[in-house]
Amino acid sequence: MQPKFTTQQQRIIAQVKLGIGTRAEITAVNFSHSTNSSYWLLKVFPDQWLFLRIASHRNWLINAQEVEIDWQNWDEFAGLANKVATVFDSELKFKLTESDQAIIWIIRRLAKSGRVLMVKLPKVVDEAHKARAVDLVTEFPRYPLAITNRNNVNKLVLQVENDEFKRQVATLFGRNFLFSQFTVHSQLKLLPTNQWLNPIL
């Protein structure tokens, strides 16, 4: 079933399509219901991918592998296509490596068995709840990471100690392949974003 878009969302989609022209296609799109923000997975021909974020506020994740377009007036979208047309100069385009695909496979298998990745956040980050930026390169991989029960994050299954795995998880989080849920006791669940993963895999 095709998603139903509001008139406002249809206007944004039309502008993005105009901006990308024949260089790419929209593979998936998600609009936030609580903030003026939208997220786009673009397939850049012939074989690259690009995440685009159009929003009225900055991402709380520094060094996320996505292109941001700052758009303040969500009642008027004239000129948005011109900004979208510039994103293809970005070096943030990517291809999925075999290592990426292997880790995604592991995370999805864990999710199917009722387990998720859980990050222990510093108290200052947790209390700020996205108001305090986190660097995915220098900070996030240092946070404790564990595999836990999805419905009871205190039911620890396995502590993850591999630094390279943690760095790759941070990269996937920054590409929106994982979405986050804040829980109690400064804990952050990371779950696979199947809306993005299904078409790309």
Q: Kindly report, residue by residue over 108-159, the tens digit of the pLDDT.
A: 999 999 999 999 999 998 888 888 999 999 999 999 999 999 888 777 779 9
> Is there a single domain that holds both residue 47 and residue 68?
yes
Query: Residue 154 is encoded by which pair of tokens?
Result: 């205190």
- Residue where a domain stops, chosen among 89, 117, 142: 89
In a domain? residue 124 = yes
- Residue where a domain stops, chosen among 54, 89, 124: 89
**pLDDT score of 183:** 85
How far is the CA of 47 from the CAs of 42, 43, 111, 200, in angstroms?
A: 11, 7, 28, 11
Asked whether the bond before 46 is cis by omega within 30 degrees of 0, the reply is yes
**pLDDT score of 101:** 93
How far is the CA of 81 from the CAs of 20, 63, 97, in angstroms?
A: 8, 24, 31
8 Å CB contact between 5 and 14: no
Domain span at residue 113 reads 98-200
Amino acid at 190: L
In a domain? residue 2 = no
> Is there a single domain that holds both residue 178 and residue 121?
yes
* 14-70 confidence digits (pLDDT tens): 999 999 999 999 999 999 877 889 999 999 999 999 999 999 988 999 999 999 999
- Residue where a domain stops, chosen among 89, 114, 139: 89
In a domain? residue 177 = yes
pTM equals: 0.89
> Is there a single domain that holds both residue 107 and residue 72?
no
Instruction: Tell me which residue has tokens 């970005």.
Output: 90
* Higher pLDDT, residue 176 or 153: 176
In a domain? residue 46 = yes
> Is there a single domain that holds both residue 78 and residue 33?
yes
